[in-house]
Structure 1
């Protein structure tokens, strides 16, 4: 049984490892000329960020792995959490590598990324449906003691949730400290749930990821010295998805991950509106760029999105208790 002190210790250790790795890996990334290629159709204020070292997600992943292997128990659930996180992180790594090597803002082709993501998502869904006490049932937020049995629709539904979440986190990673800060708060939420429900693997894993995100913010907050890249954002999406699925809480993701959700929805609305009417609903999508175009400083957008995540995580706690 994991105690609160164990979780806090895990956070601190993961944080410390991340802090130590930063000054080692960031200069290495710079030396290898692994710099960010900023897209031309983004905010003009972001052009100055071109060349900032990217693929910094490896810092969080190394810290996570060291912490979990040292202080966590490697059972089936922990193994699945690592497979999901590093599996999606690998897809992001390949994507980042192609961007850097070919010096462009686009890496893997969309269908290539989706194929890899779907394979991992289906694997996660099949595992949970075969090992969970609830089987193909999921918890319904705000309805105590009630479950929704998805039956044969469980695997496709979970796969959709996982792929959607992973790509939503990726879309959220557009401002300094935004994705890492939002995910830090969500990981703390899942760590608390894991502790209260006696799920040690989830509590330790979430604590390790919380510490890694917290440490990464030292280097990723405005003005960022390193970007996480798709290596980091897809890995974070894989971690969030896997934890929610193992907790049978896929329906809580749109609540605690509200920022992820609205970022993705803003892009969908923008694309559909432009294709159907030729007009744009937002000044720029994803949503964080809309606020930038409205004149908000980048730091204000990030702070407001962090605050919103705290509020929705508090709502998330209420929804499952």
Structure 2
């Protein structure tokens, strides 16, 4: 892919996302698909109740159409493209069902954790068999070192863990206006650069399509958010970012590029373990972005700081790769 093609992908995805937002958000309002805010959360969030959710439909629509159209135009449609779209749509459907149960059917719990897990595992297994139809390495590399571990048949277990883990990690992070939209823009953009370096134009195109679509979504999701992505969007993004790392064979690199998602998830795990073992909480509230809010930071300050961390976490590995 040339630089012009890259900018074209980002621009098309951005425009499609922006146009979709202007059409989908009013529809969500008319259907009263409003977000309910949990009472135990920060009090300042209560005013967000009723904000349309399931906004992931905005950027998912953009990503799918821009990826299919431009992959065909640029001649980079491959099995990997289909795999990426399968993960994006598959995890997106799971999130949509969860959102639908909560918002439309008014069942606060939505899908159970087991039901979500089963759905995610099914998608991961389908992906594994698709990958095995062609030449696919079952190795996991240590970033920036010439060290690889071949997991063999156990790679399927790793793949399930990776997709499910990052899908839920992004879902956990989605708690503040623009937080996931901003961090995912830079994360997918960075992975797109790596894909280009490895000559995987198909994966790069998808990555940049996601980055462009998220920029378009930010028009509506920045504070004060006019729409939330819901599980429809966050589960899909988490699955997709994990899948990209698998296809470019830099799985563990995602622990750096997705450091915000990793820390957010660890904060929840630490909080739960600490409370169960000692009856005490390490953080004022988890995930950790709520801890900073309750420590006196404004929501906007938390988002900007987390965006900055995400940007540095992407910039450093990218510079190391291209230099």
Aligned residues of 2:198 and 2:248 also touching (Cα < 8 A): no
1:240 corresponds in structure 2 to: 241
1:283 corresponds in structure 2 to: 284
What's the offset of the Cα at 1:157? 1.4
2:91 corresponds in structure 1 to: 88
Following the alignment from structure 1 to structure 2, what is the Cα–Cα distance between the partners of residues 303 and 286?
16
SS in 1 for 2:140: strand
Following the alignment from structure 1 to structure 2, what is the Cα–Cα distance between the partners of residues 230 and 3?
34
The two structures have a TM-score, normalised by structure 2, of: 0.95
Following the alignment from structure 2 to structure 1, what is the Cα–Cα distance between the partners of residues 249 and 130?
12
Aligned residues of 2:92 and 2:231 also touching (Cα < 8 A): yes
**CA-atom RMSD, angstroms?**
1.4
1:217 corresponds in structure 2 to: 218
Verify: 1:103 aligned to 2:102, yes or no: no
Kindly report which structure 2 residues correspond to 1:17-28, keeping only aligned pairs within 5 A, or say none: 17-28=16-27
1:177 corresponds in structure 2 to: 178
1:141 corresponds in structure 2 to: 143
Following the alignment from structure 1 to structure 2, what is the Cα–Cα distance between the partners of residues 320 and 171?
29
SS in 1 for 2:149: strand
The two structures have a TM-score, normalised by structure 1, of: 0.95
Structure 1, unaligned runs of 5 or more:
none
What's the offset of the Cα at 1:220? 0.2
Following the alignment from structure 2 to structure 1, what is the Cα–Cα distance between the partners of residues 108 and 175?
13
Moved over 4 A (4+): 318-321
1:59 corresponds in structure 2 to: 58
2:15 corresponds in structure 1 to: 16
CA 1:128–1:319 in structure 2 vs 1: closer, same or farther (change >3 Å)?
A: farther
Following the alignment from structure 2 to structure 1, what is the Cα–Cα distance between the partners of residues 108 and 227?
16
Kindly report which structure 2 residues correspond to 1:1-321, keeping only aligned pairs within 5 A, or say none: 2-73=1-72, 74-129=77-132, 131-133=134-136, 135-143=137-145, 145-317=146-318
CA 1:138–1:114 in structure 2 vs 1: closer, same or farther (change >3 Å)?
A: same
CA 1:250–1:68 in structure 2 vs 1: closer, same or farther (change >3 Å)?
A: same
SS in 2 for 1:148: strand
Structure 2, unaligned runs of 5 or more:
none
Number of residue pairs the alignment of both structures matches: 318
